[in-house]
Every structure is written in structure tokens, then in C-alpha cells.
């Protein structure tokens, strides 16, 4: 990765799961990184890697517009990467107001701060594959954004708002849409891969919230971090566009369980709850667009799952 000059990068949600891996990459490359996020658990990847001591870490809620703008004024970032969001579909179903406030208005606050800050050369806003809504075909970047449940709609709006600030105010905005991200540091154990790891480590039964047939892409978190840095590095070619980021690992939940058993050489005990609400049955991202620029995955499913399992076993306590 080439150096970004000057070196000031502000990452919202930088203490979270994906953000921590991106921040780790930027810190390793000697960038001056500011992280704004809400409080995160002490056993999160961010704190276990002591990234709070290697960055300008500020505990700020992006729903507080004045505080967001104050950070931008003090830091004067050159690049902004907006990852902060409420990411859990079930929580969005239970508390739609909170997810709309954070994911929609929080994004507006960040982009307003960008609009009012001179010298910003690049902005990346993380949307989601959920922004596309339901389909029976792979999504391309030209597929319509038509989420119809709270989390999905919040990401459709995030996406469109980012595009609006780019087109209306001339901000150099990139939008990214990820598949299902897995890896070290995801402590939301109701997600399938963290849930599998916890069940194996504690010798307990994995509870599958869906009927097991839901199909998703699974992409390793460090590939997401590398892709994000790649797009920022190519800002002159990528500004004003959206990019899908995923992998060739497209499985149903039950097929993922079978593959994980083969890779880890362990039997997974599971039960089907079929209790999931507001989930999309089929999702698959066509990410040929970013691949045409030269990006590619660097981690196989095997390697990613093995490293992820080891991390959970070494770092997490399950009481």
C-alpha cells in the first residue's frame, strides 16, 4: 500500500470489528489515525491490539452532531472512512428508531462535517449488501437499492445519502458494499461464524436462527481492510463510485457449517430455530468492478476460518 500524503486519516467506528483491522493496517503503515467510536469491550480486537494507545482515540457518538464537527475541526483530516453503524439485523428489527438515528442521521453528521472541513481529499462510506434488498440474482453496483426492513433501509439510505453529498456538493465519496464479514474480533456471537466458534470451544449447541437455507457471501475481515485502503489509494479513479467487496465463498448456512467442520476437523452440534426476522433469503455480490482495478482476496476461507478459530480460543472467555 502506498503512503497517503498527508497522513491524517479519521475512521468512524474504528474501534469496532472491521474498523479495528483497518486501523491496525493504517497504524502499521505509519499513518496519523484518529478513531471516533462509542465505548467497546476490553476484550475487543481494538483493545487487545492496544490500538487505543497507537491512535487519537475519542469516545464520541456520531448521533451528536456538534461533537462530530468539533473532532473534524481539531483534526482536519485528509481522508475520512465512515464505518460507524448499528450492524445487527435483529437489533434493528427490535429498535428501528435507534438504527435509523445512528445509521442515517449519523451518516449525515459525518458528511456534513466533511462538507465543512477544507482539504479533505477522499471519503469512503461503508454501506452493505443489505442495501440492495431482496433478489434472486447476484447484485452488481447498478442493482437498485431497495431495502424493505429497518436495517436494510438504513443502509439503502446511508448509501444514497453518501451519493447525494458526492453529486450535490462535489465531495470525493466512495461507497462500499460488503458481503458477510468474518474474522478475529467479531464479538457478536449471534452471527454464524462467531457462534460456531463459541459452540466448538464451549462444547455447546449452535443455535441457527434461520432455517439454514439462507445464502450469503463470506469474506475475511483483513481482505475488507485491504480493499478499503486500496480504494482510498486509488481515489482519483474511484471517487464518485460504489464498489461491491466480497469473495467466491457463497454458501447456505448449513453448507457453511459443513465446510467449517471439514476445515477445522471438528463436529458442530446445532439446532434450527427458524426464528430470524427481517432477513434476506439470498445474497451474492458480483465484485468484478473492484477486481478490474487490481484488487483480489488474499485469504482463503480455510485460512480465514483457522485464524479466526484460534483467536476466539486464545482471547475470549465464555461464562
For 190-233, the DSSP string reads TSHHHHHHHHHHHT--EEESS-S--EEEEEEHHHHHHHHHHHHH
C-alpha 25/C-alpha 135 separation (Å) is: 34
Contact 71, 34 (CB under 8 A): yes
Cell of 106: 449519523
Q: What is the pLDDT of residue 319?
A: 62
Contact 70, 117 (CB under 8 A): no
Grid cell 473492484 is found at 290
Question: What domains can be seen in the chain, in order of their start residue?
Answer: 8-181+218-245 (3.40.50.720), 183-215+249-315 (3.90.25.10)
pLDDT of residue 282: 96
Partnered with residue 218 across adjacent β-strands are: 180
Q: How far apart are CA 135 and CA 124, in angstroms?
A: 26
Q: Does the annotation count 218 as an active-site position?
A: no
Contact between residue 303 and residue 223 where contact means Cβ atoms under 8 Å apart: no
> Cβ–Cβ contacts within 10 Å for residue 64, how many?
12
Predicted TM-score (pTM) of this structure: 0.95
Catalytic residue among 45, 57, 132, 151: 151
Residues of the chain with pLDDT below 50 are 1-4
Q: Are strands 206-208 and 8-12 parallel, antiparallel or unpaired?
A: unpaired
> What was the pLDDT predicted at 4?
44
- In 129-249, which ranges are E strands? 173-178, 180-182, 206-208, 215-220, 242-245
Give the pLDDT confidence score for residue 89 in this predicted structure: 85
Q: What is the pLDDT of residue 5?
A: 54
Amino acid at each position: 500500500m502506498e503512503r497517503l500524503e498527508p497522513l491524517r486519516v479519521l475512521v468512524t467506528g474504528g474501534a469496532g470489528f472491521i474498523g479495528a483491522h483497518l486501523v491496525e493496517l493504517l497504524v502499521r503503515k505509519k499513518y496519523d489515525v484518529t478513531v471516533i467510536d462509542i465505548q467497546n469491550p476490553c476484550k475487543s480486537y481494538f483493545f487487545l491490539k492496544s490500538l487505543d494507545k497507537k491512535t487519537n482515540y475519542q469516545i464520541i457518538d456520531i448521533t451528536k452532531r456538534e461533537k462530530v464537527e468539533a473532532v473534524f475541526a481539531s483534526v482536519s483530516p485528509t481522508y475520512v472512512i465512515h464505518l460507524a453503524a448499528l450492524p445487527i439485523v435483529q437489533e434493528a428489527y427490535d429498535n428501528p428508531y435507534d438504527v435509523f438515528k445512528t445509521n442515517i442521521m449519523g451518516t449525515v453528521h459525518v458528511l456534513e462535517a466533511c462538507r465543512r472541513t477544507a482539504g479533505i481529499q477522499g471519503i469512503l462510506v461503508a454501506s452493505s449488501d443489505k442495501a440492495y434488498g431482496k433478489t434472486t440474482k447476484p447484485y452488481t453496483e447498478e442493482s437498485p437499492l431497495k431495502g424493505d426492513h429497518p436495517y436494510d433501509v438504513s443502509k439503502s439510505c446511508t448509501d444514497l445519502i453518501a451519493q447525494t453529498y458526492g453529486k450535490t456538493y462535489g465531495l470525493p465519496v466512495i461507497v462500499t458494499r460488503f458481503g458477510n464479514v468474518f474474522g478475529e474480533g467479531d464479538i457478536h456471537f449471534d452471527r454464524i461464524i462467531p457462534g460456531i466458534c463459541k459452540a466448538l470451544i464451549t462444547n455447546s449447541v449452535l443455535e441457527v436462527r434461520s432455517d439454514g437455507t439462507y445464502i450469503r457471501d463470506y469474506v475475511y475481515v483483513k481482505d475488507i481492510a485491504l480493499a478499503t485502503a486500496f480504494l482510498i489509494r486509488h481515489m482519483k479513479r474511484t471517487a464518485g463510485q460504489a464498489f461491491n467487496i466480497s469473495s467466491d465463498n457463497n454458501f447456505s448456512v448449513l453448507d457453511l457449517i459443513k465446510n467449517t467442520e471439514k476445515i477445522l476437523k471438528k463436529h458442530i452440534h446445532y439446532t434450527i430455530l427458524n426464528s430470524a426476522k427481517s432477513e434476506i433469503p439470498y445474497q451474492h455480490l458480483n465484485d468484478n468492478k473492484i477486481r478490474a482495478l487490481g484488487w483480489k482476496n488474499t485469504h482463503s476461507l480455510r485460512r480465514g476460518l483457522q485464524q479466526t478459530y484460534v483467536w476466539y480460543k486464545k482471547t475470549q472467555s465464555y461464562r
